[in-house]
Structure 1
Amino acid sequence: MDSSAARPHPVRVDSPLVTVMLPAVLAVIMLGLGLSLTVDDFRRVAAYPRAVAVALGCQLVLLPAVCFGLVLLLGLTPELAVGMMLLAASPGGTMANLYSHLFGGDVALNITLTAINSVLAVFTLPLVVNLSTAYFDVGDGREVGLRFEKSVQVFALVLVPVAAGMWARARRPAFAERAARPMKVLSLAILALIIVGAIAAEAGNVGEYLVDVGLATVVFSSLSLATGYVAARAARAGHAQAVAVCMEIGMHNTSLSLTIALGPSLLDSTEMAVPSAVYGIVVYFTAGAAGLLLRRPLPAGAA
């Protein structure tokens, strides 16, 4: 359904809440992630070679391809389509670790995948975004996409805080343990406020956006979760490892995708942020349902 003709031009979000707070919140989240990581988390790849290879293949190649087919099938507007592709290219979020723990996943594998995906996304996410903005021809003459200098900003937003957190953990492990949880709670609370503010900026269009992108986010979330588990089991990973992969590639980092979509020096588009905002709510329910289904291992031949 293409209602772009009836919908006004996307509103630019220039409030300090978005221009200053959102990048700051993302930096805090990435710093908190770094506080939970060690060099051994990257070395642990050797312990799960198949699971890691399958997860990365799904995350970097399969899911963006599935999302591309989905947005074409559903006929989303160009801006919403790019927003969905941005979401698909984003790595796993920090909540994947918690959900994996709750539903019997291998949390050590989650941490390893989060570490690797966060690094790779610095290079793969700008590529997917640029290809998407070119294909869907968004921008109305504006320069949209992630040029080299914008990609450097993504690099700084993601890797620099993670590296700082890892350095702090290595030097002050006790402090890192104490600080990780409060920082996560604070950053998630502020992120929720920013999502509400971003949606409020287009209050007149919210109903249409939910109609346009609600189905897309539910289907994409469900497909991501199912793909993670089935692909890992097909690669002969154990149930706990498959649950970890399910959550890791099924719960995308909406704080990162929202920052890139709303950032005035990045994509600067409220409409492109709508899929991430809607998905950020939907995924808690779809991931919870998937976790409940996977509480007991499926029969060996089911995957």
Structure 2
Amino acid sequence: MFDFYVQQEYWFAAIQLILAMAGMGATLTLRDFKGVLIEPKAVSIGLGIQLLAVPLTILLVIKTLNLTGGVAVGFAILAAIPGGTVSNIFTLFAKGNIALSISITAITTLACLATTPLILDFLIAPYMPDNFVMPISKIALEIGFYLLLPLLVGMIFLKVFSRHAETFSLWCIRGSLFVIVLIVIGSLGAGRLDLKAFGIINIAYVFLLTLILVMLTRPLGKILSLSKPDSTAIELEVTVRSVNLGLLIKASLFPAVVGSSDALGNTVLFTLLLYGGFQLTAGAILVWWHRGKPTPSWFLRAST
């Protein structure tokens, strides 16, 4: 049974990403991309933090902690992926600027066709075997087929079947979460998620990275004079990343083979899944924290 999962791991990763992006697309219209024109400063700062500050921060973490192997590669993948749809939901609950959150998610998702392979190539190369060549074209093609195309399909579904788009999006996201659960179960059953082999110290490193990303936006927001709602949106966008895409990249770079153990690939997988769990916890705490603050006046006006 678990041999079947190992044989089909790539497609499990692809399907969960397709469902997640179709669900996200069914919540987006072209108006959501106009945030660049409406709030150019906040959007530009958000994009700069996502595409420059986050990769550089993670590079600094890797170098400072002297990380090697699967944890370093897992961190590099986290640096290369954009924010996910869950960040938009958390932003809404946290009373952040939801329009800004959606704009940054949408734009970084489109941009990752070019940025993800480049960031990966920059960060991963030192930790891979000497004969490894980064498959930049393959990764870009996979992002196009499994991320951008489903996103477009979801947007078309919203345009054509607007009355059913919310239900469609809900079930797509539920389906994606279900497939991720299958990935965890399949990986556990195949012996690919070994807590003892991963080690407590690596768990601490992943937890530390989560804290660093949570705290990254706050000082930058103050320095750049971001409003509280804008800072909240970017804070959650940076923290809650598209682990869905990370799982596909992992499956593409480190394909599972029946009867063969890949310690590097297994550690990368564990790192991504563990960060996924930590980021949801961090997002929930940030929602609780921000909801305890006075409600922004713009939010009150929008609600009346």
TM over 0.5: yes
Which residue type is aligned with residue 54 of structure 1?
I
Measured in 1, the distance between the counterparts of 2:85 and 2:287 equals 16
Q: 1:220-259 maps to which residues of 2 (within 5 A)?
A: 220-259=209-248
Q: 1:1-303 maps to which residues of 2 (within 5 A)?
A: 15-136=6-127, 138-139=128-129, 141=131, 143-203=132-192, 205-263=194-252, 266-268=253-255, 269-297=265-293
Tell which deviates more after alignment, 105-114 or 74-83: 74-83
Measured in 1, the distance between the counterparts of 2:4 and 2:254 equals 11
Please say if residues 5 and 186 of structure 2, whose CA atoms lie closer than 8 Å, have aligned partners that are also in contact.
Answer: no
TM-score (norm 1): 0.85
Residue 239 of structure 1: how far off its partner (Å): 1.3
Measured in 1, the distance between the counterparts of 2:193 and 2:140 equals 32
Aligned to 2:302: none
TM-score (norm 2): 0.85
Unaligned runs of 5+ in 1: 1-11, 299-303
Residue 204 of structure 1: how far off its partner (Å): 7.2
Measured in 1, the distance between the counterparts of 2:113 and 2:55 equals 15
Question: CA distance change for structure 1 residues 204 and 160 in 2, over 3 Å: closer, same or farther?
Answer: closer
Q: For 1:49-90, what per-residue CA distance to the aligned partner results, in whole angstroms no more than 9, with x for missing partners? A: 222111111111111111111122223222320111111211
Measured in 2, the distance between the counterparts of 1:87 and 1:291 equals 22
Question: CA distance change for structure 1 residues 75 and 245 in 2, over 3 Å: closer, same or farther?
Answer: same
Residue 119 of structure 1: how far off its partner (Å): 0.7
Which residue type is aligned with residue 27 of structure 1?
I
How many corresponding residue pairs? 283
In structure 1, the residue corresponding to 2:291 is in which secondary structure?
coil
Measured in 2, the distance between the counterparts of 1:228 and 1:166 equals 30
- Cα RMSD after superposing both structures: 2.3
